[in-house]
Amino acid sequence: MYLNLKKSHCLLLLVISLISVSSCYEDLYHNLDHFHTPTLYPPPFYFTNYKQNYYYHKPNSAHRRNYKNPLRASHLVIRPKVVNVDAFGAKADGRDDSKAFKRAWKEACSSTGTVLLVVPKNRDYVLKPITFSGPCRSNLAFKRCFNVKASNVLVTAPEYSPNTDGIHVTETQNILIKNSVIKTGDDCISIVSGSKNVRATGITCGPGHGISIGSLGARNSAAYVSNVVVDKARLSGTTNGVRIKTWQGGSGYAKNIIFQNVVMQNVSNPIIINQYYCDQEKPCPEQHPAVRISNVMYNNIRGSSASEDAIKLSCSKSFPCHGIWLQNIALGRQLLQEDNDQVARASCSNVGLVNRGIVYPRCSSKY
């Protein structure tokens, strides 16, 4: 893993042609406590408002790693280096600020340690389609943001780069992610707790782990995600397609979710709900509480599955999923030369399921 990281951390490309954010708020220093070991991992990357009104950052890799040892994380206090685009010549005078942003990005990327890229608030910067490129291992994250529109975002990170979610949405309301291409080693888009009214449309994903809601409910936490629409997506060669994942022992809900008009190509788990998610070395103990999943519509999803399990809905025994709709689903097995007679399967447990129109494969499900 060590070696992998070293090899893989230096390819990243972000192309952004439009991002507008009306506001985000974050207690920055509180959150920075979670980051650590800049020597081992390239700098967490922030894109921030100076007065903490908005920023994009790279949050989750360190969170996950520190999970086992919270002490190790909390004794570290990292003061980020601040790189303000204005200091690099951005004027917000209606003329093109792309060059200044590029210079600021370059400075930020070449620094070691935590970096904030600051975009002062209440100023309108004009950017041409712009390429921000490595060497920093990064992603784009929206945390505690309201009214965000991000379009034509291109994120590329290597397939074997761990914990590099393409676009991470957390505690954010009213966000539209449009016409974006994400190639990464982790989730292309991940939507986690506190997010509401999230729309992702025109998404091309792969390689990566697909489009995920969650994980939710880790460490017995309460999670709330609602009103999510993923519309018009193409996923190729990803380990998951559209996924909802929750840990045992959580609470709260994930509800009112639509995945539609999705084309899968050689995706290992095209449609998956996993309420027994466990991303740690020790097996997770059985716990009854669960984040409740309801009203999830899968509509017009077709393509090929790299594994037998094209549809796998594994809901909580104690709080079964309800209002799960499958409509116009056609998922076949990706043909392999050696065994091309394999068929795609569906397995469903603890699911209140409605099938509409053509649904293939179908769960032989009992509730």
Ligand X SMILES: *[C@@H]1O[C@H](CO)[C@@H](O)[C@H](O)[C@H]1NC(C)=O
Q: Sort 10 into a burial class: Cβ within 10 Å, 0-12 / 13-18 / 19+.
A: middle
Q: Which is nearer to ligand X, 227 or 307 (CB)?
A: 307
- For ligand X (CB under 6 A), the number of binding residues is 5
Output the six-digit token pair for 22.
Answer: 């009306």
Find the shortest distance in angstroms from Cβ 235 to ligand X.
12
- Residue among 238 and 248 whose Cβ is closer to ligand X: 238
Binding mask 285-324 for ligand X (x = CB under 6 A): ---------------------x------------------
Pick the binder of ligand X from 53, 163, 246, 334 (CB under 6 A).
Answer: 334
Q: Which is nearer to ligand X, 90 or 331 (by Cβ)?
A: 331
Give min distance, CB of 237 to ligand X, in A. Answer: 6
Strand, coil or helix: 24: strand
Closest CB to ligand X among 240 and 334? 334
Phi-psi region of 30 (alpha: psi -120 to 50; beta: other; left: phi over 0): alpha
What are the DSSP calls for 326-350, one per residue?
A: EEEEEEEEPP-SS-TT---EEEEES
Among 266, 305, 316, 349, binds ligand X (CB under 6 A): 266
Q: Which is nearer to ligand X, 59 or 303 (CB)?
A: 303
Cβ contacts of 332 within 8 Å, gap of 6 or more: 303, 304, 305, 310, 343, 344, 360
Which residue in this structure is represented by tokens 């020597």? 39
Kindly state whether residue 269 participates in binding ligand X, applying the rule CB under 6 A: no
**Contact code string over 100-119 relative to ligand X, x by CB under 6 A:** --------------------
Q: Specify the residue for token string 């980020």.
A: 80
3-state secondary structure of 185: coil
| Active site amino acids | 209
Q: Which two tokens stand for residue 212?
A: 């995920």
Closest CA to 172 of 188, 189, 159: 189
CB of 161 to ligand X, least distance (A): 17
Query: What does the binding site for ligand X look like in residue numbers (CB under 6 A)?
Result: 237, 266, 268, 306, 334
